Structure 1
């Protein structure tokens, strides 16, 4: 068993376990064992599982913000090209993380029960929605762009769930192709 020194590594391992097993089914013992630490060493870094889960949510969000959301957010005039790069980054992430979206999984598992998690999860999905809105606003009237963005997040998350169940990224790729086609078709009309 290797010793994990970096706090970021602890959070990454915990996030993986939460994704794979679920929050409720993952114990502090599971996390400590996966990290090669004693429970006491883990408690040195985090007060408990809830604090560790919050750190995992924040770490995933920061990753998305810095590498995936940034594709659209940091572009001067994001369009089809940026949406395609965004889509590919999402596909790569979920190919590498086949157990699904930590934030969606946790939201489904806890429902509205954990007020500590809900605002963080909501903020993550609002940012994802905003990315789509920025792109779709170039191709559709405001109300339609908002509806397209809401539907895109919902359908993409459904595809991510299906990838978790069947280990098949193809539905996500097809949905991403539809998003690109809808923007291209709007440009032509």
Structure 2
């Protein structure tokens, strides 16, 4: 192979690699944008007030769990970052049609906590193994644990601390008043984990 032919071959390989990287980035961006849109849709779908706390129940945590269990940590983090950025820019994407003000209100900690929470859960979930019923069951349990640590534990920690700081209420009182969310989030984590473990073999191909 002469030098000219070798250079042409290397140039073709380089262009192919660049096209492949561009396509992957485009797909990753589309996934992140999709989940950012789903977070907005879940907030727009309605909210359920919880007595004793100004923070309502929505399906946003469920969408965050789905993002953590189906996307890599960069895509999952980007989806939440885009959602928060849209709200900070004044778009009515938060619960009740709120925008920038929500980032300074009682729900601020939970909203901000979505970002580190989804990244932690995505990193903890591990690789899906769905070759048998037993493997799917173990994957579901691992996904469930990752969802609880990241999308519940981390999110709640941010939510409690920031709400306490903003409202002046004792941290313990804030945590106690928010216990009404726990049962719903356990159900969300279980459903998300079972669904994603069952379909992850297709999603991650």
Q: Which has the larger radius of gyration?
A: 2
What TM-score results when the alignment is normalised by the length of structure 2? 0.40
Q: Using structure 1 for the length normalisation, give the TM-score.
A: 0.42
